C-alpha cells in the first residue's frame, strides 16, 4: 500500500535530531469503555511553529487534544515538554505548564464582562479584593495585542462568535501560554473574520507562541500551517510538510482512499419550474426575497453568515411566520402555515443543525427516517403504528443513501456527521410527495470523504428530477455543485449568476454590502 511509503518518508522528516521541539508525544494510547480512542499516536511541535492536526470526524483529534491539555490521562505513551517528561493530572497542570486550548464552541460566561471571562480563575486580588481597574487595563492590553474592536467591559454574550473566540485567545495569553491549541476556530466564522483570525495566529507565532491548529478546512491549513499531522481511525498516519504534499495525497491520508471527483455533478436535463417564491419577507430577517428552482436543477444560495438565508427558508417552510410573500410549487400557489403544510406541498427542509433540528440523536435511525410519514402508513382510526412497513421503508431509504450503519436500530448519535446527514436525506426521501429539497449547509462539519458522498447523492437526486436549493457558505461546494447561484446580503437577494459566469470573487462581492449597487444596476 502506498500509505506505507508515505509513513516512512514522514518518519524521515520527523526524527531529525537538531530540531527545537517544545512539545513531543510518543506512543500515546487512550482507551475509553468499548473503544480505543487513540492508538499509538506520535506528535512533535517545534518552537514557534503552526502545526495543523487533521483527520476525519472521529479520527481522534479531540481526544488527542484532551490528552495534551490534561483532561484525559493516556493509558500508554510519554509526553515531553521542552525535553522533559511531564505527567498532567488535570487541565490545571497543563495550564500551569503553559498549554492553553481554545475550543470551537467557546466556553464562556455570557452574562459576565470580557475582563471577567479572561481572568476567570486567576483574578488579580489584593487584600482579598478584586482589582478591577488593573484587570481591565490588563485585559485591554491583551485585546490590543489581538487588535480587537471591543471593550474589556463589554458583556460577553453580546459579542459575535468571532469576538468571543478572540476573548478565548486573550484568556490563553493571559495565562502566559507558550502553546495554544485552536480547535476548529474558523468553523463558525465568515471569510472576513477567518482572515482576521489568520493574522492573529500568525502574529502569535511571530511572538514565539507555538500553535496547534485543528480544522476541517483545507484552506485554513494551507494559509497557516507549515506542517500537518494526520490521524485516521485513532491511528497516527504521518506528519508532512505542507508545501511538499499534494492536496490529493493529503485527502488520501485522511480518508484512506482516493477521491477521484469531489463534485460529481451529472449532466441533467433541466425541466420546468418546480419551486418559486415571490416577495417573501420576515420581519427583521429578510425582505422581498424572490427566487425559483427548476426540476433537476441545483440552485445555490450563498451569502455571509447572518445574511438571512436560513431565516428566509424557515419562513417558507412554516417554521417561522412570513409577513408577506407567495410560494408556488409546480406553478400552483401553496399556503404554508406550519411545517406539516410545507411537507404536504412537497417542500422539505433539511435543517442546518442535524443534531438539534434534523435527528433525534438517542433514537434508532429507522424511527428517525419514518417520523414524518408515520401517520400516512398508520393503521385504523386510532393511527396504530405500522411497524413492519416502517422498518421496510427505513431500510430502503437508508440503503439508498448508503448509510454506514448495521441495523435500523443504531442510534443517531453513533454515526459520524456525514452519515447523520445521509439519514436526514433518507428521512426527506421517504416523503413520497417531495418535489423540492432545501438543504441548509448540507456539509457543515462533515469530513472530506463523506462530503464527496453527499455531493454524489445530491447529483443523483437532481437526476431523479427533484428541485434542489442548497444554502451554503462554502464557496468550493457552491461553485462545484450549483447550476445557478443566488447571493443574499442583509436579508435581500443581491444577485443571480449562472454557473458559467460565477467566480468566487464575483460571489463574495455580491455577498458584501456594496453588492446592492449591482442589483440596482441590473434592474
Residue 336 binding other proteins, by CB under 8 A = no
- Min. distance of Cβ 468 from other proteins in angstroms? 18
From 261, 399, 498, 513, residue interacting with other proteins (rule: CB under 8 A): 399
| Residue 438 CB-density burial (10 A; 0-12 exposed, 13-18 middle, 19+ buried) | buried
Q: Which is nearer to other proteins, 115 or 312 (CB)?
A: 312
Pairing of the two strands 227-232 and 286-294: unpaired
Residue 392 binding other proteins, by CB under 8 A = yes
Q: Which is nearer to other proteins, 41 or 250 (CB)?
A: 41
Stretch that binds other proteins, among 94-102, 146-154, 212-220, 353-361 (CB under 8 A): 353-361
Q: Which is nearer to other proteins, 207 or 338 (CB)?
A: 338
Closest CA to 358 of 413, 320, 308, 306: 413
From 53, 148, 268, 343, residue interacting with other proteins (rule: CB under 8 A): 343
- Min. distance of Cβ 320 from other proteins in angstroms? 11
- Min. distance of Cβ 430 from other proteins in angstroms? 11
**Alpha carbon distance 406, 365 (integer Å):** 10
Phi first, then psi, for residue 406 (nearest 5°) are -90, -45
**Alpha carbon distance 435, 454 (integer Å):** 19
Site for other proteins, residues 22 to 81, rule: CB under 8 A:
29, 31-36, 75
Residue 396 binding other proteins, by CB under 8 A = yes
- Min. distance of Cβ 282 from other proteins in angstroms? 17
Residue 366 binding other proteins, by CB under 8 A = yes
- Cross-strand pairs, 437: 348, 468
Residue 407 binding other proteins, by CB under 8 A = yes
Residue 400 binding other proteins, by CB under 8 A = yes
Interface mask (CB under 8 A) for other proteins, residues 255-284, using x and -? ------------------------------
Q: How many residues bind other proteins (CB under 8 A)?
A: 53
One DSSP character per residue, 130-177 reads: E-HHHHHHHHHHHHHHTT-SS-TTSBGGGS-HHHHHHHHHHHHHHTT-
Count CB neighbours of 364 within 10 A.
17
From 233, 402, 498, 513, residue interacting with other proteins (rule: CB under 8 A): 402
Cα Rg of the chain, angstroms = 25
From 60, 358, 417, 495, residue interacting with other proteins (rule: CB under 8 A): 358
Residue 371 binding other proteins, by CB under 8 A = yes
Q: Which is nearer to other proteins, 170 or 425 (CB)?
A: 425
Closest CA to 202 of 146, 262, 242, 246: 146
Q: Which is nearer to other proteins, 71 or 499 (CB)?
A: 71
Residue 335 binding other proteins, by CB under 8 A = no
Range list of β-strands (E), 234-353: 235-241, 273-282, 286-294, 298-303, 324-329, 332-334, 347-350
Residue 406 binding other proteins, by CB under 8 A = yes
Cβ-contact 238, 10 below 8 angstroms: yes
Q: Which three-class secondary structure state does DSSP give residue 22? A: strand
Residue with cell 433525534: 360
Cell of 86: 511531564
Check residue 9 and give left, alpha or beta (phi > 0: left; psi -120 to 50: alpha).
Answer: alpha
Contacting residues toward other proteins, per CB under 8 A: 29, 31-36, 75, 319, 338-340, 342-343, 349, 351, 356-363, 366-367, 371-372, 374-375, 378, 382-385, 391-392, 394-396, 398-409, 427
Amino acid at each position: 500500500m502506498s500509505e506505507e511509503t508515505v509513513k516512512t518518508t514522514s518518519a524521515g522528516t520527523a526524527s531529525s535530531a537538531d530540531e527545537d521541539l517544545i512539545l513531543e508525544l510518543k506512543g500515546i494510547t487512550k482507551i475509553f469503555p468499548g473503544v480505543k480512542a487513540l492508538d499509538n499516536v506520535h506528535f512533535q511541535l517545534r518552537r514557534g511553529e503552526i502545526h495543523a492536526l487533521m483527520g476525519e470526524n472521529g479520527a481522534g483529534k479531540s481526544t488527542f487534544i484532551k490528552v495534551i491539555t490534561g483532561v484525559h490521562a493516556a493509558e500508554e505513551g510519554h509526553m515531553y515538554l521542552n525535553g522533559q517528561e511531564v505527567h498532567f493530572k488535570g487541565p490545571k497542570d497543563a495550564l500551569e505548564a503553559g498549554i492553553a486550548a481554545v475550543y470551537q464552541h467557546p466556553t464562556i460566561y455570557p452574562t459576565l464582562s470580557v475582563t471577567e471571562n479572561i481572568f476567570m480563575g486567576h483574578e488579580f486580588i489584593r487584600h482579598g479584593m478584586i482589582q478591577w481597574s488593573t484587570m481591565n487595563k490588563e485585559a485591554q492590553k491583551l485585546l490590543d495585542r489581538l487588535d480587537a474592536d471591543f471593550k474589556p467591559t463589554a458583556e460577553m454574550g453580546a459579542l459575535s462568535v468571532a469576538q468571543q473566540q478572540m476573548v478565548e485567545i486573550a484568556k490563553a495569553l493571559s495565562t502566559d501560554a507558550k502553546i495554544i491549541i485552536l480547535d476548529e476556530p474558523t468553523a463558525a466564522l465568515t471569510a472576513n473574520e477567518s482572515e482576521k483570525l489568520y493574522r492573529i495566529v500568525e502574529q502569535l507565532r511571530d511572538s514565539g507562541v507555538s500553535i496547534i491548529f485543528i480544522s476541517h478546512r483545507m484552506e485554513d491549513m494551507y494559509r497557516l500551517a507549515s506542517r500537518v499531522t494526520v490521524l485516521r481511525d485513532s491511528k497516527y498516519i504521518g506528519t508532512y510538510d505542507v508545501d511538499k504534499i499534494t492536496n490529493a495525497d493529503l485527502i488520501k491520508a485522511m480518508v484512506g482512499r482516493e477521491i477521484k471527483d469531489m463534485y460529481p455533478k451529472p449532466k441533467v436535463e433541466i425541466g420546468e419550474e418546480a419551486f418559486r417564491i415571490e416577495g417573501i419577507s420576515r420581519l427583521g430577517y429578510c425582505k422581498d426575497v424572490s427566487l425559483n428552482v427548476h426540476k433537476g436543477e441545483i440552485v445555490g444560495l450563498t451569502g455571509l453568515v447572518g445574511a438571512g438565508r436560513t431565516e428566509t427558508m424557515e419562513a417558507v417552510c412554516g417554521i417561522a411566520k412570513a409577513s408577506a410573500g407567495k410560494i408556488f410549487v409546480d406553478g400552483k400557489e401553496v399556503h404554508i402555515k406550519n411545517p406539516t403544510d410545507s411537507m404536504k406541498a412537497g417542500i422539505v427542509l433539511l435543517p442546518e443543525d442535524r443534531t438539534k433540528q434534523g435527528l433525534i440523536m438517542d433514537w434508532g435511525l429507522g424511527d428517525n427516517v419514518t417520523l414524518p410519514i408515520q401517520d400516512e402508513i398508520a393503521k385504523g382510526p386510532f393511527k396504530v403504528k405500522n411497524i413492519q412497513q416502517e422498518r421496510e421503508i427505513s431500510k430502503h431509504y437508508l440503503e439508498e443513501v448508503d448509510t454506514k450503519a448495521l441495523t435500523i436500530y443504531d442510534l443517531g448519535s453513533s454515526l459520524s456527521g456525514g452519515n447523520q446527514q445521509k439519514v436526514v436525506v433518507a428521512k426527506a426521501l421517504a416523503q413520497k410527495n417531495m418535489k423540492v429539497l432545501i438543504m441548509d449547509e448540507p456539509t457543515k462539519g462533515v469530513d472530506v470523504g463523506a462530503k464527496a458522498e453527499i455531493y454524489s447523492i445530491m447529483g443523483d437526486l437532481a437526476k431523479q428530477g427533484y428541485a434542489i436549493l442548497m444554502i451554503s457558505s462554502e464557496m468550493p461546494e457552491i461553485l462545484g455543485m450549483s447550476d445557478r447561484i443566488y447571493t443574499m446580503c442583509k436579508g435581500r437577494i443581491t444577485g443571480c449568476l449562472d454557473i458559467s459566469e460565477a467566480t468566487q470573487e464575483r460571489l463574495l462581492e455580491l455577498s458584501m454590502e456594496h453588492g446592492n449597487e449591482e442589483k440596482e444596476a441590473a434592474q
